[in-house]
Amino acid sequence: MVSVEVYEERFKRLKEVDPGKDKVIEDLISEVKELERGLTEKKWDLEREQETTKVYQSKHYDIQTKLKKMEEVIRSNSFVSVLIDGDSMPFVDRFVKSAKEGGMEAAHNLRSKVCEYVSNKLDLPNNIQIKVRIYANMKGLASTYYHSKILDSAADLDAFVRGFNMGHPMSDFVDAGDGKECADSKLKAWFDYDIADVQCQAVIFGGSADNGYARLLQPYVGDSSKNKRIILIEGPPFVKELAGLKDKFLVACFPDIFRHTKLSPRRVSFSKTPPATPIPNALSYTAIAYPVDVAAVRPDDASNPSVTVPARRNYPLLKNGRGHRLDAVISPPQSLVRVLKNKKLCNPFHILGECSYPDCIFIHGARLDEKGIEARRLLARQAPCSSGLHCEDEKCLFGHQCPDRACARIGKGCRFTPEMHSVDRS
């Protein structure tokens, strides 16, 4: 039989355990309640975040919808801008000679070529809008066409321009005025405006014969987001500064639209653009002191109607056995060539004895003597004739053969075509 003391001891131990058990249960209940409160707060936070998410999702959807509409508007109004310097990018002769019809054909063909190019090279829609703007000194350009024997009258260019403007509602050939930089400033302004326009998918720029546009293009050389939208048109060969930049942009060539040579000496200033080739040894002259009365050629006599025009000088039209035009061999003093090189003299006046430009900006004054005339003839020949070996114009002052008989740049930068080198002079 177990004694009472044993039961008493056991009861004592149970009493000691029970209070601890109750405390544990109370702590557990308290912890559960605390967790429930935290869970409730988290549920509220989650509900608030869900509501916020719904609001932002709704706003995001609205923004996406607006962006899609904006993109549709941009696509529906996207265009390609074609900017052409009409003074340095002349159209091929057949268009200009065909007057109004030629202008309409030129506008149509140019737009077709541009559309074909941007569709193939830039993957743009073949129905994209094309805006064509051509700026030129119309008075000077008309006179140049006339004296280049392309037009019978300077007024004939007006018919071509009218036809071009009628060729399409978004094709404009505009007279920029007769100031030196009028066309340049308008083209530069439109270029900057169009390249900044998000709806403009590409700017096709034609001014390959004018170094001044190098400064316009330079800032875009390192801007990949914009230089991929710039396409340069090569008509006459790129001049030195542009030639150094052209590899940074796409280059298009439309030989059926634009001439690959300039028009006349009136568009070449020997005081600013030195001859591309040196005066060859074969035509050299001993550098002796040669007295030149440069004061006799006065700037204030340029275009002075009171100055008497000397009698016209005739030069023989020379050809070789194959009927190719030849330039007569002349040997003016080198010292005189250097002196006259930087004089803005009127070549037709001094060399031929006639000037048909009513508002000629070049110097007339006292006519040069025989040696001076030879020096100017040699300088004028540094620019190639657009008709090359087939020129029949007895008044032509351009060069018909490369003046550098040892030319090492044939087909690699020389302004004279390959056939204008090593011409048979027999």
Are 242 and 269 part of one and the same domain? Answer: no
pTM: predicted TM-score of the whole model, two decimal places: 0.51
Specify which of 190-199, 315-324, 337-346, 362-371 reaches the highest per-range mean pLDDT: 190-199
In terms of residue numbers, what domain contains 354? 264-426
Is the pLDDT at 297 greater than 50? The verdict is no
Is residue 294 a part of any domain in this protein? yes
Is the pLDDT at 292 greater than 70? The verdict is no
Per DSSP, helices labelled H in 206-265 are: 213-217, 224-227, 240-243
Are 246 and 99 part of one and the same domain? Answer: yes
Give the separation between CA 186 and CA 163, rounded to whole angstroms: 22
Is residue 141 a part of any domain in this protein? yes
Per DSSP, helices labelled H in 342-383 are: 347, 370-380
Are 230 and 294 part of one and the same domain? Answer: no
Is residue 50 a part of any domain in this protein? no
Q: Which of 218, 252, 286 is the last residue of a domain?
A: 252
What's 221's domain CATH number?
3.40.50
Are 296 and 398 part of one and the same domain? Answer: yes
108-150 pLDDT, tens digit per residue, is 999 999 999 999 999 898 889 999 999 999 988 888 888 888 8
Specify whether the CB–CB gap between 80 and 229 falls below 8 A: no
Are 385 and 277 part of one and the same domain? Answer: yes
Are 129 and 223 part of one and the same domain? Answer: yes
Are 225 and 310 part of one and the same domain? Answer: no
Is the pLDDT at 280 greater than 50? The verdict is no
Q: Count of domains in the chain?
A: 2
Are 299 and 163 part of one and the same domain? Answer: no
Position 3 scores a pLDDT of: 64
Q: How confident is the model at residue 7 (pLDDT cuts 50, 70, 90)?
A: low
Is residue 105 a part of any domain in this protein? yes
Q: How confident is the model at residue 190 (pLDDT cuts 50, 70, 90)?
A: very high
Specify whether the CB–CB gap between 114 and 80 falls below 8 A: yes
DSSP secondary structure, 131-195, as one string: EEEEEE-HHHHHHHHHHTTS-SSTTHHHHHHHHHHHH-TTEEEEE--SSTTHHHHHHHHHHHHHH
Q: Which of 212, 228, 252 is the last residue of a domain?
A: 252
Average pLDDT, stretch 366-378?
90
Provide, rounded to the nearest whole percent, the portion of the chain with pLDDT above 90: 31
